[in-house]
Amino acid sequence: MFTQEYERHGKDPEQNVAILEFLGSVPFVEPKSRKGEVHRTIITSYYWYLSTIDFTRGHIFANSPVQEDDYGLPIHPSGQLYLSQGKLVRFYSGALALGVENGLIGDFKLFEQMFQYKM
């Protein structure tokens, strides 16, 4: 997982922001049927951790990779399928919704929800 954390970022000097840029889908999770669960746990745990160190905002860069691209970790099996853009956004949304449901995350908004009145 690649992240960037910015303290006192933006207009509000008290605002700390974190960006999750990449979460590698490596082939070591067994059984494979639980890989999504493991990744959701990693995401919600990271955002919960951020809340304990006074981070108030988090962003996820959800950009579906090109099939067979090994960005970040060059260990993907050649036949591994990547999520489409829509499925990737739904996966991240589901992970964050689970975090809200479990009390680990306050709330979240999709990009379109954040800027629907500003466009």
Report pLDDT digits (tens) over 59-96.
Answer: 887 777 776 666 666 666 677 777 888 898 899 999 99
Query: In this predicted structure, what is the pLDDT of residue 72?
Result: 64
pLDDT confidence bin for 117, thresholds 50/70/90: low
What's the Cα-to-Cα distance from 22 to each of 11, 15, 31, 50, 66, rounded to whole Å?
A: 26, 22, 22, 17, 13
Query: In this predicted structure, what is the pLDDT of residue 46?
Result: 92
The answer, yes or no, to whether residue 42 has pLDDT greater than 80, is: yes
The answer, yes or no, to whether residue 105 has pLDDT greater than 70, is: yes
